[in-house]
Amino acid sequence: MNTLSIGEKAPNFQIKDNQGIVRKLSDYSGKKLVIFFYPKASTPGCTAEACNLRDHYQTFQAKGYEILGVSADSEKRQQNFVNKYDLPFPLLADEEHIVINGFGVWGPKKFMGREYDGIHRTTFVIDANGVIENVISKVKTKDHAAQII
């Protein structure tokens, strides 16, 4: 696993979101962007994280930030997640791991003594020029907005 670091250019991507709309990094040129990677839609930790960002969405908007969520879930699963929790930001359906691998957040994980490959919960804050200005790898799911802002 080779996670991108502060000061590196964010990799460009072109991928569909929960509504089937193609999203590209270049769509956010000139804006600040928070991209949060999470293991699986509608699981407890991911729900807590997404809802915490939702609850502080107005603050992010006021500070000029856009938010994108990314997991390997299908468009349908992402849309169900958006609908169920009224999420105001798009979720990318990265079933092919294009963005996940581009940012280097796929790799070995351990859970209850079992080892497997999966998405490491990581958030990247990208400046208006597409440069990574912060990487949060120890995400506090219930208080994530405070970690970013």
Task: Please give the positions annotated as active site.
Answer: 46
CA distance 79 to 116: 26
Phi and psi angles of residue 136, each rounded to the nearest 5 degrees, phi first: -115, 110
Phi and psi angles of residue 60, each rounded to the nearest 5 degrees, phi first: -60, -45
Report the greatest alpha carbon distance in the chain: 44
H-helix or E-strand spanning residue 71? strand 65-71
- Whole-angstrom CA distances from 105 to 46, 76, 119, 136 are 15, 22, 6, 11
User: Which amino acid, one-letter code, is at 113?
Assistant: G
Q: Is 124 helix (H, G, I), strand (E, B) or coil?
A: strand
Q: DSSP letter at 131?
A: B
